[in-house]
Chain A
Amino acid sequence: MPKTLPPIIRIAKYTLTDEIRQKSFIIMFAICAIFIFLVRGCYQGNFMVNGQTLDAETVIRVVSKLTFHVIAAGAMLLTALLSMRVFRRDRDEGMQSCVLAKPIARWQYVAGKILGLWVLSVMFMFSLHSVVFIIASINLNAVLPEFLIASLLCFFNLLFVVVAVFLLSLLMSDVFAFLCVLGIGIVGLVADGIYALSHSQMAQAMIGQSGAPSDWTWWKAVYYLWPKLSGAERFASSFIGGEGFPGFGSIYPLINILAYCLILGTLLFWRFRNEDIV
């Protein structure tokens, strides 16, 4: 049995411990902790819809689902914030040249960085989801395992964010890299919204009445080809609330994200291989 860890794991370990020291991580963690503390109160509230009081189970499921989305989105934001400065910080603090002057290949360095940051963001998101899972389970007097399954599925979104921000931070300034990935998420969300709207009964009726062209091809292309971060999150959340497996058709956003991770990851390794180390 080897006594020492492989270089990728070592670099991942150093990345993780270094990032935890960052102010942005501490601030975001504090904000999320406050958010969860506030959400705790929602589970005990009385909610009325159309004059009818909602039963406790429905409230718990709706609040849990909402919290799930907020945490998943927050984790993506935090991951993007942390990822955008990783290479630059390593370069400025001399760790990049220190690591690469050792018999460690560049791909191992990049893989270690990806792994470290991914594990950190996954731990962050999963721990917050776990707190909500515990609160929901206590209030419901029943265990909601699907909540944790949904959280696991969101791991791929975080991997996408890490890889995309890493790649873009090699091509442009850190802030632009962050904003670009934020933009990717927002455009995906808008495309999903427009697609959903175009398929609503009201929109169909309006299109039929006005005689406007029902050609949504451009938006359809965006809908299918754009990184489907929100789609993957929605697919994951569909497990919560006892809806069960929504069918293989809705697995597409997850495949889309995995394919993007693969493509952007390959580009990242290729780009870093040709990068001059300062």
Chain B
Amino acid sequence: MTNLIFCYPYFLDITGWGTYSFCMIELNNATKRYGTLTAVDNVSFSVQAGEYFALLGPNGAGKTTIVKMLLDFARPTSGSLSVNGLPSTQAASRNAVGYLAENCHIPPYLSGWQYLQRCAELLDMSRLDAMRQCGRIVELIGMQGREHTKVSTYSKGMIQRFGLGAALIGNPKLLILDEPTASLDPIGIREIRELLESLKDQGMTIFLNSHLLSEVEKICDNAAIINQGRLLVKDAISALVKDNDTLEDVFVRLVKG
């Protein structure tokens, strides 16, 4: 069946995810300036529901600024962004959105469990629902047995796992991940990759901001490459990587011009 593309809020989707594809994220000429520095320059692209999308670029390319604008952490200087079919400036656009920050921080005096519970309660869950969700999440991120110890005793990787767990609370339809595997060891990276793949199979849209091009090549459907705030290319990974090239080769070629 032909995939029809509509951009309207996901909650109007009464037909199921398999039939239609909706714009989960849309950037229209988004520009962000900090004084004289243009962090994001007239960027436009969209991410469809159920897509596993990677935003690639060298350090300082404007990837995190785009993520910030999507979550309304920073307002665009011009242009517009929409999430779930709603302007990103509306709090409702963050309904069913999970977010993991690049350098995930958790208050050190809380335990991982307390942190997850707070995140669940902030999503308007009752205490009982929150406890159920947290139990499921702790299992999902493989942190059973450590959830009740203080965060100050956790390693960076463990904090990252709890950060991902917090992003998964409430079964989000869109997951925005900013360098999710940055602090993880190779085993942790593999586990997170498998987890994200299983989430994608469940129909979740994943917006990934990453430097690990080999990981992106393995798991993502589409990618956009930006440099100095400008969008260089946006296409399917299969279309970007041809013949004996790797995504790294394509990335270096495009960024170095």
What is A's interface to B at a CB cutoff of 8 Å? 3-5, 7, 10-11, 14, 18, 21, 92-95, 97-105, 108, 274, 276-278
B52 an interface residue at 8 Å Cβ cutoff? no
A277 to B163, CA, bound (A): 17
B75 an interface residue at 8 Å Cβ cutoff? yes
Question: Which of B94, B97, B104, B125 sits near A94, CB closer than 8 Å?
Answer: B104
What is B's interface to A at a CB cutoff of 8 Å? 68, 71-75, 91-95, 97, 99, 101, 104-109, 118-119, 121-126, 163, 166
Number of cross-chain contacts by CB at 8 Å: 69
A103 close to B95 (CB less than 8 A)? yes
A94 close to B126 (CB less than 8 A)? no
**Do A94 and B109 contact each other (CB < 8 Å), given the known contacts A10-B121, A277-B68?**
no
A121 to B210, CA, bound (A): 44
A18 to B115, CA, bound (A): 12
A4 to B91, CA, bound (A): 19
> What B residues does A103 contact at CB under 8 A?
91-95, 97, 123
A94 close to B71 (CB less than 8 A)? no
A10 close to B91 (CB less than 8 A)? no
B92 close to A100 (CB less than 8 A)? no
> What A residues does B119 contact at CB under 8 A?
98, 102
B124 close to A4 (CB less than 8 A)? yes
Q: B31 to nearest A CB, angstroms?
A: 15
A94 close to B101 (CB less than 8 A)? yes
A99 close to B73 (CB less than 8 A)? no
> What B residues does A108 contact at CB under 8 A?
91
Closest chain B residue to A278 by CB distance?
Answer: B73
A277 close to B123 (CB less than 8 A)? no
> What A residues does B108 contact at CB under 8 A?
93
Question: Which of A7, A14, A276 sits near B68, CB closer than 8 Å?
Answer: A276
Closest chain A residue to B105 by CB distance?
Answer: A94
A100 close to B107 (CB less than 8 A)? no
**Do A7 and B74 contact each other (CB < 8 Å), given the known contacts A18-B107, A93-B105, A105-B91?**
no
